[in-house]
Amino acid sequence: MKRKIAAIFAADIAGYSRLVAEDEEETLRRLASYREVIDDFIAKANGRIFNTAGDAVLAEFPSAVDAVRCAIDIQESLRTRNMAYPPSRQMSFRIGITIGDVVERDGDLLGDGVNIAARLEGLAEVGGICVSRAVHEQVANKLSVQFADIGAQEVKNIPTPVHAYMVAMRRDDGTYGTPQLRKTAKPAHGPNWMWPLVVGVVSIVAIGVGGFLYFTQLETAKDTSTAPSPTPTPTVATKAPTPTPTPTAVATAIPTPPPPPPIPGGKFPADTVPFIGDRARAYLSNEYSAAGDYKAFALNIGGFTGTSFNQPNEESARNAALDQCQKRADAAQSPRRCELYAVGNNIVYTHGAPPMPPQPWVRHDSITQRAFVSKDFPMLRDQAKTRVETLYVPAAKLRSVALGPGGQYFMVLGASSVEETTRRALESCGALAGVACMIVAVDENFVVPIPTLLRVTGFFHAASNSSIVADARDEVVRRLGDGMGWNAVAVGTAGRPGLGLKAADEQAAVNAALADCVKHDSDCHVIAIGPFTVGPTN
């Protein structure tokens, strides 16, 4: 056995037993995936995993700085991965770190350092990091990290309180979340010899106070014996009859407002609620619709919701629903604010239904459909492409991405059906863009032709495209027809269009459109490929 000082890192999953009970196979699969991320970060930070058990990981690091930096990288990476899943299925770790004396035996580490790291992990927030004072002192001036001092904490099987700090985790917008401060440990009790003294002092004081009250009562009785008795104040204890309210009290009383009138038929129109999944709609159709007033329902564009039932008044119902929705949205770092959608069974949402394209929303075409590649996603900036790569690509089925004509986009991940994921993506994207969006990808495939020969600049609408001479637009719309295969449109100086229709590949469609255009016009160039307008690549 060998003793040494080491930075000890302890992590495990919050709510792991519940996740396994709900879906064991999927949970174990994701655990293996997340462990690959954790193991890789630990190895890169010169750490060594010395023990694992189920969802728990114990590792040692040569320095506290390495351990904290590694923990932050892990939490930020896993938080990004978790955004691909609904809150109830997110797999979040707690991490505790300390510096302590440990004993190494056959590669395993034992001792107080390991035990304290495990207890600190239990103090950490979900998705957070908790460190000891020794670690805080080592890293406070070496890393750009903010801490919240939570004071001395009493933890199981550790005889003395552990002074701990929470690491403030950075959000997507660059700000830092504020950890929830915990109560500090109670101070240690005084020595036992103090108790007789305390009891004696209390007894003397009690005797003195009792005598004072006794003689005060006698004096009061003498003073009031000749005075008229006042009307007694009724109390519950004496079960006195309730006095009749004065006219002033009646005038200032606030009557309870009547419940809002129900929708005709008494059924909440759950089928028309946008942004939410099928399960949420079923919940609204059954539990919410049947619940009595006062109740309210709130949502945001991202699909986060909040409901409240059986509140004392309408204002309480509104506030409770908004608060629940916003907490859920904030927990997932959703940038969208929650709004009231319904009070009682009445719709109060002021934005109306989001703009939607005509159905079918997805048409599978084996000629144009190809594997999804983030770098080829049209009209997105590099930062957005990175986000799509990070969130969309590793997410579980069923998932989709909708794109707006101004470069707006919205992803829906982990839906229950293709219809649900595409509907929600189009609704949320439409609400952001103010116009109908287009489904570009479903699961691992692009489901529309994605141009690569020319740069995509927007959506192509032949009926209103100013590059095409007005008297030819209706004919272009008719000839494009069902849009299957690769299609391209070219125009010349006079705006006379040339079409390449139902080609086997992008290049063939472009060649056919240019060849058709030169029959009617001069200086022809391609303006559209598939559903997109295009321009030069530079």
Question: What is the CATH number for 107?
Answer: 3.30.70.1230
Tally the domains of the chain.
4
State which amino acid sits at residue 95: I
Which of 137, 168, 199 lies at the terminal end of a domain, its last residue? 168
525 and 396 co-located in one domain: no
Beta strands in 365-437 (DSSP E): 370-371, 400-403, 409-412
- Amino acid identity of residue 250, one-letter, is V
Q: Which tokens is 450 given?
A: 């994605």
Contact between 432 and 301 under an 8 Å Cβ cutoff? The reply is: yes
Give pLDDT, residue 177: 54
- What is the reported pLDDT for 166? 93
State the pLDDT at residue 442.
96
Q: Tell me what pLDDT residue 460 has.
A: 94
Peptide bond into 294 cis (omega under 30): yes
Do 493 and 485 form a contact (C-beta atoms < 8 A)?
no
Range of the domain at 499: 455-535
**pLDDT the model gives residue 165:** 93
What confidence score (pLDDT) does residue 170 get? 63
Instruction: Name every residue whose Cβ is closer than 8 Å to that of residue 486 and which is 6 or more positions away in sequence.
Output: 367, 368, 449, 500, 502, 503, 504, 505, 506, 508, 509, 529, 530
Please state, in angstroms and as integers, the Cα–Cα distance from residue 133 to each residue in 112, 129, 397, following that order.
15, 13, 44
In a domain, 111, yes or no: yes
Neighbouring CB atoms inside 10 A of 340's CB total 20
Domain boundary among 405, 420, 446: 446
Q: Is 384 a domain residue? A: yes
Instruction: Report the C-alpha gap between 317 and 330 in whole angstroms.
Output: 20
The answer to whether residue 494 is domain-embedded is yes
Are 105 and 85 part of one and the same domain?
Answer: yes
Task: Please tell me whether residues 440 and 475 are part of one structural domain.
Answer: no
Give the model's pLDDT for residue 215: 37
Residue 229 placed within a domain: no
Does residue 254 belong to any structural domain of this protein?
no
Q: Do 399 and 493 fall into the same domain? A: no
CA distance 157 to 275: 48
Strands 108-110 and 339-343: unpaired
Same domain, 378 and 339: no
**Residue-level pLDDT at 7:** 94
Structural domain contains residue 100:
yes
Judge if 29 and 142 occupy the same domain.
yes
Q: Within this chain, do residues 9 and 149 fall inside the same structural domain, yes or no?
A: yes
Q: Where are the beta strands (DSSP E) in 260-395?
A: 296-299, 305-308, 339-343, 346-347, 370-371
Do residues 61 and 159 both lie within one domain?
yes
Does 180 fall in a domain? no
Same domain, yes or no, for 383 and 503?
no
Q: Are residues 341 and 376 in the same domain?
A: no
| Helix residue spans in 286-417 (DSSP H) | 289-290, 314-331, 382-391
Q: What does the DSSP 8-state code read for residue 293?
A: S
The pair of structure tokens assigned to 16 is 């792991």
- pLDDT score for 273: 96
Examine the fold and report which residue of 168, 184, 201 is the final residue of a domain before the chain moves on.
168
pLDDT (0 to 100) of residue 267? 76
Q: What is the pLDDT along the chain (538 residues), one digit of tens a residue?
A: 688 899 999 999 988 888 888 888 888 888 988 998 999 999 999 999 999 877 889 999 999 999 999 999 999 889 888 887 888 889 999 999 999 888 888 888 988 889 999 999 989 999 999 999 999 988 988 887 888 888 888 887 787 888 999 998 765 444 455 555 444 444 444 444 343 443 444 444 444 444 443 333 333 333 333 333 333 333 333 333 333 333 322 332 333 334 344 444 457 899 999 999 998 999 999 889 888 879 999 999 999 999 998 899 999 999 999 999 998 888 877 888 899 999 999 999 988 899 999 989 998 899 999 999 999 999 998 889 998 999 999 988 899 999 999 899 999 998 989 999 999 999 999 998 899 999 999 999 999 999 999 999 999 999 999 999 999 999 999 999 867 899 999 999 999 999 999 999 999 999 999 999 999 999 999 999 999 999 887 6
**Closest alpha carbon to 163 in 112, 102, 120:** 120
The reported pLDDT for the residue numbered 154 is 83
- Based on the fold, state whether residues 53 and 124 are members of the same structural domain: yes
Residue 357 belongs to a domain: no
CA distance linking residue 8 with residue 6, whole number of Å: 6
Residues 13 and 146 in one domain: yes
Q: What is the dihedral of CA 390, 392, 394, 400, to 10 degrees?
A: 180
Task: Check residue 529 and give its pLDDT.
Answer: 96
